[in-house]
Amino acid sequence: MPDSESNLVSSHVDVINGTSVLSEMKISDEKRSVEKRAVTQIEKNGYPDSIYINAAKIFQGIHTEKSEDKIQVRYGGNSDSPMMAFKDEHSRRVSYELAFNTLKYQDLLEEILLDSRTYPCYSIPDELTSLLVVILYDLQDRKFKKRKIFAEEELVAEVQEIENYLYSYRTKLAAALARCRIKYDALSIEYFVPETIWKQEQRASTLPLCFWINTFKISLEDVIRDLEMKGFRKVESVSDLDHYTYAVDQHCHDVLVFPSSLREELLNLDLFADSKLLLQDKSRSLAVHSAQALLSEGGDIIMAHIGSHLTIAHMSVLTNRSRSKIFACGVKSSAKEEELRNSLSHMGCENIQLLHEDFTELEPTDPRLDKAKVILLLPQCSGLGAGNPVEFILSENRDAALLRDLFQGFVSEDKLSILAERQLNELIHALKFKKVQAIVYCTCSVYPEENELVVQKALESGVEGDKVRRYRVIPSVFFTCSNSESSTEMFFKMEPSEISSGCFLAVLEREKDTSKKVSAKDILDSAAAENLLDGIAEEKPKEEVKKQKVKQRRRKVTASKPKAAKLLHRQTGANVKAEVPVSKAASKIQEQHEGHVKAASNASQKTVHRKKAASNAPQKTVHKKKVVSNTPQKTVHQKKAASNIPQKKVHRTKAATKIP
């Protein structure tokens, strides 16, 4: 290499040493640098070969494609669903993060390759260009230092070949990077990141961590006691979080919120390792709490998408006491089913049934779902409200292409239209389940096309039909956290901010049935409870009569006309049309009171005489009781006679008082 180029590299060596965007962003916060010391050290030494392979496969599917006249670096054909094997969850997370970082600096990395004349390389086919760019990003992040190879690491030939090739050109690559920075007057390569992405990453780095408590394994009180023993202090709100503090979430009573700087330390706690505390975005906790609040005793719930197994587990924990069953849709493979069962079993969840069918493949009349009362719909969405895109993709098992949308800062109209149409179809399908009483619809989108408009179009579809009660939007159990306009006050919305991810939540509930008829038996039972029947009783089976003691109380005329009027008002006010026997019973009540009032005012002496006669003939009273209890047919006959011939009724009442 010419000396002038070597001098250029030497003169800019101090600048190059400060170009690592990951180092600057991850060590900018003093607290994070201390707690992530081990992780940062691993990143400076590079990654195992398998992580480069997986990151390259992810990047191959999400890299920015340019028009034919502007293409200078070719990436070969795309694979729709590349096969990736992750050693563990950490390897999976790091692979996605490496792919996303490569995407953010794709233009810069391509310019470095071209300017240094490292590309094209005829020994490296286009299919491996993604691997070339991924390894280049990591090489500059390590300040062009050689990667440390661990003894137990399994080496991959392609990775070794490309890494050795790039390392042999490290001086030219460093010089090309320096020229790019001079050309664009960039103090660091962070300059090359779009402002929207930079702000999003800054927000994500400070976003509080939300952990929900698995009460299958531990109580809230025990968690708090454990945290206090480890030096944590409780504060009143998220705005008060600082160092070793935590707060109970204002919306979800079983969610604890911690400062973002404590992430690694919290993940190393026994509480997390034993699945007693689970890290998950708050939007999912809001969704399951909304569904649980609508669930009646013994009612089941349908979860239209698998999404994260943590969401299913949280729903299981909240519904444990109600004896509800949870149906999770879309478990396509036996391997996925086994994985889910093992994960859920480890967390103590038992009331879950996994369904192989997608939600839209389920018949609304499926007998398995007869007791389903609530549907929780968490459809695939653009996800631009998510605080941490990589975390969102990993936890919700979403398409890695979301990273490209987040990098662009928007979703194309075509893709948004496809998503909205799919969401509408799923919500309309949910409306067809006639036994279901409520639906919770929740997204992490910031687009009205995926939120309010989907709900509005579904309700206007009229798919419920005229024979069932229609759905209406009702307020959620939470208070709105954003300044919504009047047209959206019924929806719960949280805008992306420094303290929360974006979230949209709508609760749909069937309208109350005000025209339902009340049976004659129910009205008679209600009247009997208020002592308004005055001896009128429905006919009971002989077995039930034998079990009861033969008793009869002589009841004074204490029932007043307002009580009878109150019962009649209740019937008419609720638009109740009573059956014929009920109408006769009601007229019987009114006539009895009129007869009693008349008898009490005009025949006081006869009343005294009747009382005396009653006290002198107890044996006849007992005999009369037996006759009444053994001849229910006569009682019914007397009721009819009483309602049709009021004059004879009054006469019979007088006779009964003389000879009880």
CB 327 within 8 A of CB 359: no
What element of type H or E holds 328? strand 326-328
CB 55 within 8 A of CB 95: yes
Residue 74: C-alpha distances to residues 67, 111, 403, 404 (Å):
11, 13, 20, 18
Contacts of 446 (CB under 8 A, 6+ apart): 382, 384, 385, 495, 496, 502
CA distance linking residue 658 with residue 660, whole number of Å: 6
What 3-state class would DSSP assign to 653?
helix
3-state helix, strand and coil shares in percent for the chain, rounded to the nearest 5: 55, 10, 35
Q: To which residue do tokens 């402002």 refer?
A: 195
Q: To which residue do tokens 């509005």 refer?
A: 456
Catalytic positions, written as ranges: 444
**Other Cβ atoms within 10 Å of 117 Cβ, number:** 11
Compute the half-sphere exposure of residue 132: CA atoms within 13 Å on the CB side of its CA.
25
Describe the crossing of helices 49-62 and 157-168 by its angle, rounded to 10 degrees. 80
What 3-state class would DSSP assign to 494?
strand
CA dihedral of residues 488, 491, 496, 499 (deg, nearest 10): 130
Please, what is the Cα angle at 137 between 135 and 140, to 5 degrees? 105
